[in-house]
Structure 1
Amino acid sequence: MSTPSKIKLRHIVPSVVTVFAICAGMTSLRMSLEGRIDLALYLILLAVFLDAADGKLARFLDTASPFGAELDTLADFFNFGIVPGVLLYNTLYLGTEYANLGWLAALVLAVCCALRLARFNLSMNSPGITLKKDEYFVGIPAPALACLALMPIFMHLHGWQDTDLPLVRAAYIIGVGLLAVSTVPTYSIKHASIRRAHLPIAVIAAMVLVVCLMVYPWPTLIIGNCLYLASLPFSYMAQLRHTKSQ
């Protein structure tokens, strides 16, 4: 069977969005090297949004392909494993006596992200390995890993520079990385649902969230990270009850 000489433009739209995400991550890396931390963080958040968008587009346009999946995996590793680690190191540890410790934490973060994504790719082709059960993920997804790992910088920009705890920061970053490769079930927003009667409340809440991210980005992200971490025991217990009921 011959390969068609032409493809429809809709087939490349998700991959183009993924390439934009890689460009956002690469530019974030440049901004972090230049010391423009705020802009570097905004670009990582843009990469998180684009990562969610390319998958949605692929499913909506019915253009999912192995090429797109591999490209998305490479983009996730770069944007959520390498770029946050470099940003954390440059912002919090470079030039200090704890530089080696900070680099170790960045390495663990990148390796854990790579292991997480490799396990995810393996699960796509192996029925014996799964990273998603109903409304749960197994471990922390790569975009959430990046957001959680960057919380020390969010706190730093919010004005908590006086509390310099490099050992605690490094332990936190390593702990977040280990959560990504753990088997802890985490809630998946992709399968979340609400009652139709609550739709206006959800829309207003989403609007408030967007406004807070625009006006008070760092406190909003800190609170969001704390709520996500606080949800882990509940997701674990919910998954345990679900397993026992089967």
Structure 2
Amino acid sequence: MPLPTVDTKSDISVIHLLPNVLTICAICAGLTAIRFGYQGDFETAVRLILLACVLDGIDGRLARMLGCDSPVGAELDSLADFLNFGVAPVLILHHWALQDFRSAGWIAVLCYTICCVLRLARFNVNSRLDKTDKPASDSGYFIGVPSPAGAVLVMLPMFVSFLFSDLPIAPPAVIATYIGVIGLLMISRLPTYSFKNVSIARKYATYLLLGAVLMAAALLTYLWATLVLFSLVYLVGLARAFQLDRKSRKTEG
């Protein structure tokens, strides 16, 4: 009696599942961040959102390195981005500072979340159609603020509060307005720099590695101060990009 044959096409290497495992871990981090936020442990909640950002930066690159990127993985990553960067940060912010602002605070939350899902939908469609919203090798730019960067920027008031614990929290109206502005930046046509295609001369690689080590050390040692600094630098870069974009439009006109 012949032995049954094994359909090897149905087999998959365990290592090829690792990117999806990281994406699911990011989802777990985002959900757990919401839990800690509603329990009042806001610092832990924010740290979990930051962990989700790190995992988001790893899973896609790992999938491409292993040659196992798939439509399922891409959809899973997009859903994780919406939860971790479009829902969790603003729910935590709402519970942190907007509880007494009633309807206006919730409108700001809805504005940010809808902007995030529209930004992700636009990016996904244009990526499939290979249009300009996908960072091309010759452009090095995103169109609008990416959702992970938006999540970090929208939590800037919390970073400042954690860094300067003696200062009062900003007025709810200011925080709600800020949330709405960050949401609009995500769906804007503003070109924002993408670091995915950055290349440097080989002779400077050592300095880049040293800078990465120092950055990691700063994040581990002075987390809130480093995040405040990074967020402010990013906002200044956005303002500069806005000026250059307006100038280029006037030149073309």
Same fold flag (TM > 0.5)? yes
Q: Which residue of 1 aligns with 2:77?
A: 72
SS, match of residue 112 in structure 2: helix
Q: Which residue of 2 aligns with 1:202?
A: 208
C-alpha distance in 1, partners of 2:22/2:123? 21
TM-score by length of 2: 0.88
Residue 16, structure 1, aligned to residue 21, structure 2: yes
RMSD after superposition? 2.2
Identify which of 224, 228, 244 aligns with 1:222: 228
Q: Which residue of 2 aligns with 1:55?
A: 60
Contact 1:105 1:173 in 2 (8 A): yes
Greater C-alpha Rg = 2
Identify which of 173, 184, 203 aligns with 1:178: 184
C-alpha distance in 1, partners of 2:112/2:207? 37
SS, match of residue 9 in structure 2: coil
SS, match of residue 180 in structure 2: helix
Q: CA deviation at 1:72?
A: 0.3
Q: Which range is displaced more, 205-214 or 170-179?
A: 205-214
Q: CA deviation at 1:101?
A: 2.1
Residue 137, structure 1, aligned to residue 135, structure 2: no
The 5 A counterparts of 1:97-112 are 98-112=101-115
Equivalent residue pairs, number: 240
C-alpha distance in 1, partners of 2:194/2:245? 13
C-alpha distance in 1, partners of 2:113/2:213? 33
SS, match of residue 192 in structure 2: strand
Identify which of 4, 7, 10 aligns with 2:9: 4
Q: Structure 1 residues 233, 193: CA separation in 2 closer, same or farther (over 3 Å shift)?
A: farther
Q: Runs of 5+ in structure 1 lacking a partner?
A: none
Task: Detail structure 1 runs of 4+ shifted over 3 Å in the superposition.
Answer: 233-236, 238-241
Q: CA deviation at 1:127?
A: 4.3
C-alpha distance in 1, partners of 2:247/2:70? 34
Contact 2:146 2:186 in 1 (8 A): yes
Give the fraction of aligned pairs with identical amino acids, expressed as a percent.
39
TM-score by length of 1: 0.90
